[in-house]
A = this chain, B = another copy of it.
Amino acid sequence: MLSWAQKYCRHEIVGVVTEVGSKVEKFKVGDKVGVGCMVGSCRSCESCDNDLENYCPKIILTYAAKNFDGTITYGGYSDIMVADEHFVVRIPDGLPLDAAAPLLCAGITVKFAKALGAKVTVISTSPNKKQEAIDHLGADSFLVSRDEEQIKVQAATRTMDGILDTVSANHPLQPLIGLLKPHGKLVMVGAPEKPLELPVFPLLTGRKKIGGTFFGGMKETQEMIDFAAEHNITADIEVIPIDYVNTAMERLLKADVKYRFVIDIANTLKPSL
């Protein structure tokens, strides 16, 4: 049986091109490239036509999905990989491969928001993340979500244009909606298993919105990577060998990593004979 790590952690893949097909136009041998969450889509529906292959009903995910020819996709736990050039992004020279990998799925919200020119407040349950959020990530301010008084004071000023909600656990939306300006947006990127409680009245009286989004289309993803290179945005990572993966999973569940493990497949995976 596959372990949790084997099943879920293989869709942010980077490497160097070793071979290209005769019709490939975007890449040549030696290029630094990446593959994210998907490796195929229909290429003809409304979503695909709008460079949003990620919402194609026939999307092929990078692992544990079926290719159009019936074969199974195996993801990134491999020393080589074959992919359609459309679903491959270019990693610009300025970006180290290992620290670019985690950009392909989760991104790093605070660094991007600052580079985009936003005033950024980090909202967290734990007050002890404050210094790191401000000193290391570059946030402008910090709010403890469990501190009702602090949230109330902040909500009275209604200063936030948008909130990116990355929490995957059950949590109250009302205080977050209260922080938003009129017409503000709360964008969910975490996926709590059970439905959350949605207070409707505050949406009406502030013409506010709640939206959701997951990984981007290929065009958006390439733009994001290029933007990261331009602004020197990289993920904070700890590079590990493949045989450390189960230990890494245990540490991940204890939140004992800052902030991403990256597996060095090329140097540590022994090809089966």
Contacts and interface: CB of A to CB of B under 8 A. Distances in A.
B200 A195 contact: yes
Interface string A162-204: 0000000000011000000111000011111001111111111
A209 interface: yes
Interface string A188-227: 1111100111111111111111111110000000000000
A182 B214 contact: no
Nearest to A172: B195
B213 A204 contact: yes
Oligomeric state, in copies: 2
Chain A: interface residue count, which band?
A: 20 to 34
Most buried by B among A201, A206, A211: A211
Contact of A200 (B46, B196, B204): B196
30 contacts: A46-B181, A52-B207, A55-B183, A55-B207, A173-B198, A174-B195, A188-B200, A188-B203, A189-B204, A191-B201, A195-B198, A196-B197, A196-B198, A201-B212, A203-B210, A203-B211, A204-B212, A204-B213, A204-B214, A205-B212, A205-B214, A207-B211, A207-B212, A207-B213, A207-B214, A208-B211, A209-B209, A209-B210, A209-B212, A210-B211
Nearest 10 CB-CB pairs, A to B?
A203-B212, A198-B198, A204-B212, A55-B182, A195-B197, A209-B211, A204-B214, A195-B199, A207-B213, A196-B198
